[in-house]
Structure 1
Amino acid sequence: MTPDLKGIVIIVGNYGSGKTEVAINLAVASHAEGVAGVRIADLDLVNPYFRTREARHQLHRLGIDVVLPPEKYLHADLPILSPDVAGMIKQPGPLNILDVGGDHVGANVLAAVADAFGDKPPQMLQVVNPYRPFTETVAGCMKIRREIEAAAKLDMTGIVGNANLIDETDVNVIYEGHRFVQRFSRESGLPVAFVTADVGLMTDLDPDRLACPVLPIRRQLVPPWGRSANLAAG
């Protein structure tokens, strides 16, 4: 069962949480499930390395609309917000994904476009990898939640469990991560929207042990010596 999300979905989290991978793969999975008019906007204005724009060519080939800064600024380490983002928010399609920069610093951009949301409250999902610093405890996750909400001037509406150890991930890492986000959910009152798993682990996962949808991840944001996965693979 893959996530079924509609409207404006904001993906936030701390640095290293994997939120951009989540945003990209959510767009691809939703498109594959038949959601027409999937759009994704790169609002990461603080991290020059792992951003949605790095996967733009594959996304475009799949027919997914990618909202980016002007071409001449694509690789600039500059805080440039495309005016198309406000237009996307004011006139959203069936699914509009906003990939926001890490921590509260990255979430500041949301306050700048807050008026554009109007009476269309967005979903804001906090990506959590309990194997990363600062989110290995529920208290740490709660702190990051409060900081992002204050910066964005928006309320968090759900949690995404993105437990992984990159190449060392196995199904037990996924199961333990799921148990962790369930604890975070109970203490925060936020629902678990979905969890993620590398596409290579999907057939090994027991769905009865995961009480939520699972988003398959095909890694895009790899080091220079790595190779991105093919997003169009079945």
Structure 2
Amino acid sequence: MEITLNGIVVIVGNYGSGKTEVAVNLAVAKRQAGVEVRLADLDLVNPYFRTREARQILAQQGIDVVLPDEKYMHADLPILTPAIGGMLRAPSELTLLDAGGDDVGVTVLAALADALKGKAVRMIQVVNPFRPFTETIEGCLKIRREIEAAARLPVSGIIGNANLIDETTTDTIYTGYDFVRRLADTTGLPLECITVATGLLPEIDRKRFSCPILPISRQLVPPWKRAVRIGPRSLNL
């Protein structure tokens, strides 16, 4: 099954959901599938694990990454460059916006109201059921309402990102899938895909899932760990 996301897609989620890792890997996977991809880092709140940390690997994959000016690269100020407005007025086949976590992080989207006006925009909520505040359906719905109110955009789809980092097993993936499937059924929103670390892919029974799988090669890691190497076709969808 193919992940069908295209046009302008905003990736949101609570802190710790893994939304930036999802955005980076989704960008790479779609680019390797021949899609023109641009990615904007709009995370102006969290100083760690932002898209800009993976800008080299993204550039190597031929992905146009829009970041704050170099002098503001590690600032937490609400700096939106004209390049971001430009990429929204003339979007590529897939234009990804990696917004900040929770409702605080997505308030930056309000500054893009003019650039987004009249555009078809999809806002996708990344859910990790093994994180605080999203381990219940009610918690996920609360996070969704807060994000929608701050962003002034509706969530229109879900990505399941069930993981326990290095402790993730196939059971983690299966349990997480069952949860986000229930969440999708409860909300009536489409389950766009679930994520599976590339190292676990050979052990996964794909027939258990009714949605596409996004392979994840972790790029946003602590300084004492190495990112997983991404080959030319390693994230084939």
Q: TM-score range by the shorter chain?
A: over 0.9
Please state whether the residue corresponding to 1:157 is helix, strand or coil: strand
Q: Tell me the amino acid that sits aligned with residue 47 of structure 1.
A: N
- Show the counterpart of 2:220: 221
CA contact under 8 A between 2:43 and 2:101: conserved in structure 1? yes
Map 1:2-81; keep pairs closer than 5 Å: 2-35=2-35, 37-81=36-80
Q: CA offsets, 1:144-175, max 9 Å, x none? A: 00000000000110000000000010111111
Q: Which deviates the most, 83-92 or 1-10? A: 1-10
C-alpha separation in 1, matches of 2:76 and 2:106: 17
RMSD between superposed Cα atoms in Å: 1.0
C-alpha separation in 2, matches of 1:135 and 1:122: 24
CA contact under 8 A between 1:128 and 1:161: conserved in structure 2? yes
- Show the counterpart of 2:209: 210
Structure 1 residue 19, shift from structure 2 partner: 0.1
C-alpha separation in 1, matches of 2:231 and 2:70: 24
Please state whether the residue corresponding to 1:22 is helix, strand or coil: helix
CA contact under 8 A between 1:62 and 1:232: conserved in structure 2? no
Structure 1 residue 231, shift from structure 2 partner: 2.5
C-alpha separation in 2, matches of 1:130 and 1:49: 21
CA contact under 8 A between 2:59 and 2:65: conserved in structure 1? yes
Number of residues of Structure 1 aligned to a counterpart in Structure 2: 233
- Show the counterpart of 2:231: 232
Structure 1 residue 221, shift from structure 2 partner: 1.0
Structure 1 residue 115, shift from structure 2 partner: 2.0
Q: Tell me the amino acid that sits aligned with residue 53 of structure 1.
A: R
Q: CA offsets, 1:66-122, max 9 Å, x none? A: 000011111223332222111111110101000000000001011110221122221
Map 1:119-198; keep pairs closer than 5 Å: 119-198=118-197
Q: Tell me the amino acid that sits aligned with residue 6 of structure 2.
A: K
Normalising by structure 2, we get a TM-score of: 0.96
CA contact under 8 A between 2:106 and 2:147: conserved in structure 1? yes
Structure 1 residue 2, shift from structure 2 partner: 4.2
Normalising by structure 1, we get a TM-score of: 0.97
Structure 1 residue 5, shift from structure 2 partner: 1.6
Runs of 4+ in 1 over 6 A off after TM superposition: none
CA contact under 8 A between 2:44 and 2:75: conserved in structure 1? no
Q: CA offsets, 1:191-234, max 9 Å, x none? A: 10110000111121111101100000000111111111122363
Percent identical pairs in the alignment equals 62
Can you give the 5+ residue segments of structure 2 that lack an aligned partner in the other structure? none
C-alpha separation in 2, matches of 1:2 and 1:103: 28
Q: Tell me the amino acid that sits aligned with residue 18 of structure 2.
A: G
Work out whether 1:84 is the aligned partner of 2:83: yes
